[in-house]
Amino acid sequence: MDKYALVEKCHNRHHKKSVLRKVMAIAMTVFVVLAGALSGAGNAIYAWALTGDELLEANRAIPVESNQVPNWPQGPIVGAESAILIDADTGVILYEKNVHEREFPASTTKILTCLIASEMCEDDEVVTFSRSAVFDTPRDSNNIAIDVGESLTVLECLQAILIRSANECAFAVAEHITGSDWQSFAEVMNNRAKELGCVDSNFVNPNGLPDDNHYTSAYDLAQIGRAFFADQKLCDITMTPRLHIYPSENQPDEIIENSTVLILPGKTYEYEYLVGAKTGYTDAARSCLVSCAEKDGTRLICVVMKDEAPNQYLDTISLFDYGFSNFYSANVSETETKYNISTTGSFYSGVDVLGNSTPILALNTQDCIIVPKTVDFADLDSEISYDTNDPMEAAIITYSYHGVYLGTAAVEFMAQGDGYTFDELPSSVAATEVEEVEVEEEKVVFVNVTKIALYVGAGVASLLIGFLVVKGIMNYRRRHPNWRAEWKRDRRRRKNGKKYLTIHQEAKQRKAAFMEEGRRRTRGRKRISKRLGENGPSNHYRIK
């Protein structure tokens, strides 16, 4: 075979191998694409299975803990995996379902971020967007398309976060507060969460983007919500249906975005008593909603987590209606009938040592507790604790029902003025109720004020003894001077060439002069008496 034929053979063999490699590469690519497509389809089918009716039924089968309390109002069965309804003022839990289950909060995280920003920043502070704040935000997540180097005020950032759920604004606010990167803001979030009473949370970012280590619970979000919805500015922002940011020298675009929260006024699931709301959604977290509503002076906070749209709105509305319909706020000073003072005689006597004749203890007239309408106030359990740090409080009464906390009332030292006193029942209490209380003596709890009287008496006695001791020391030093100190003092004066009399020498000299004056007058009287005796009374005018 000549060399040309050999070259041609080698060339054909190389060409065949090259074609084979290309075919194998194409086949591998097709296989990977098909595998990815099948995997995606499988995930889609699996996700559909998780988000369908089967998931809702599984969630509805989870027991509602509050429904298991005897004679407690039966709450609705919701499709959320965990849900809670609390009274915003007292923190009393009205409805609880799986409230400590660890859940992904999604964008409901932003209520904590905005709360911290509102507490630590002024509204007109300027927030400049860094590269990390912009580019760490996924393109398919919520944003308002701010560019690197542009700036907004803190208030505009809060509006963008709460109305449009803008993730880059949450990153930028976090960096503004820490002065460094947004990752450092997690420590600030976790510390503030603990201060608010959270027990199940760990936050790693300011906006709730998916992270396995970023989680919380319905209970914790309710505690954060108590502080968040207490800020009227933040409530007003969440109720705003449209974000409108005007161009400025730091940001050239006019930004207009609509809120996607469907429970707001004018939306599909509007709720007339709503005062604020924040939604959240990711594939892992599903639909979440933290909201607050107020009716007839009662403010409730509702949290539903891992629900299916639009059930997060329907479940929230049913929980609010349940709370407003089945519970009421009871003023303890106007309702309580079983507390009185067992040692009233210690504070009333013929001698008014306290300066007045009114009782010294009274229930705080503002303290209220939350009571189910299915339960009588007299059936509540109560416990008195004298462990209080408030100097104006003598004790704290804690109310509960079958172990469910309902609130507290303070027993205060009473000043002159009106107030509910322990030895008088409110005028609103009927005579029949008074008789029932007197019959059921085992339910009467007495405030032990003997200790209080002893403490007060011991304090007064200590002050009196101290005063007498100081007075005695002063008198003793006045009557028994320190002669050695006086001698040293005189010696120093003499060395300095100063002539003077000491205090005691002056006193002695004054005493001697007084006695000499007395003797002189005595001698004068004797002379006058002698002359009167010699010349007789009629010649007394001759005395010179």
Q: Determine which one of 97, 110, 278, 338 is catalytic.
A: 110
Residue 169 to residue 484: CA distance in whole angstroms: 81
DSSP codes joined into one string, 263-323:
TSTTSTT--TTEEEEEEEEETTTEEEEEEEEEETTEEEEEEEEEE-TTHHHHHHHHHHHHH
Q: Look up residue 318 and give its amino acid.
A: S
What is the rounded end-to-end Cα distance, in angstroms, of the chain? 183
Give the pLDDT confidence score for residue 529 in this predicted structure. Answer: 83
User: What is the pLDDT, as a whole number, of residue 442?
Assistant: 45
pLDDT at site 526 = 84
Report whether 110 contacts 124 (CB < 8 A).
no
Residue 223: phi, psi to the nearest 5? -65, -40
Q: Tokens 């509540």 sit at which residue?
A: 380
Catalytic-residue membership of 165:
yes
10-residue mean pLDDT series, the chain (544 residues) = 48 51 55 47 43 81 96 97 97 98 98 98 97 95 96 97 98 96 97 97 97 98 98 98 96 95 96 98 96 97 96 98 97 81 38 50 90 94 89 91 95 63 47 44 51 79 89 77 70 64 71 87 85 61 45
Do 374 and 72 touch, CB atoms closer than 8 A?
yes
Q: What's the pLDDT score for residue 253? A: 95
Tell me, what's the pLDDT at 340?
55
| Catalytic residue, candidates 66, 118, 165, 201 | 165
Q: What one-character-per-residue DSSP string does 365-409 give?
A: TT-EEEEETTS-GGG-EEEEE-----TTEEEEEEEEETTEEEEEE
SS3 category, 490: helix
CA distance 225 to 111: 7
Half-sphere exposure of 460 (CA within 13 A, CB side): 8
CB 113 within 8 A of CB 121: no
pLDDT of residue 535: 59
Q: What is the pLDDT of residues 94-114, one digit of tens each?
A: 999 999 999 999 999 999 999
Question: Catalytic annotation on 22?
Answer: no
Who's near 162: CB < 8 A, 6+ residues apart? 110, 111, 114, 234, 237, 238, 278
Q: Which two tokens stand for residue 427?
A: 């005028």
Q: What's the Cα-to-Cα distance from 328 to each of 128, 368, 379, 398, 406, rounded to whole Å?
A: 48, 10, 15, 17, 11
Tokens of 107: 């964008």
Number of neighbouring beta carbons within 10 Å of residue 531 = 14
CA atoms of 287 and 314, how far apart (whole Å) = 12
Token pair belonging to 138 = 């996924």
**pLDDT at residue number 38:** 45
Distances (CA, A) of 196 to 189, 208, 220, 310, 497: 11, 19, 8, 30, 75
Among 66, 82, 97, 107, the one annotated catalytic: 107
Catalytic annotation present for 18? no
How far apart, in whole angstroms, are the C-alpha atoms of residue 428 and residue 328? Answer: 17
- Tell me the C-alpha distance between 421 and 411, whole Å: 10
Strand partners, 384: 397
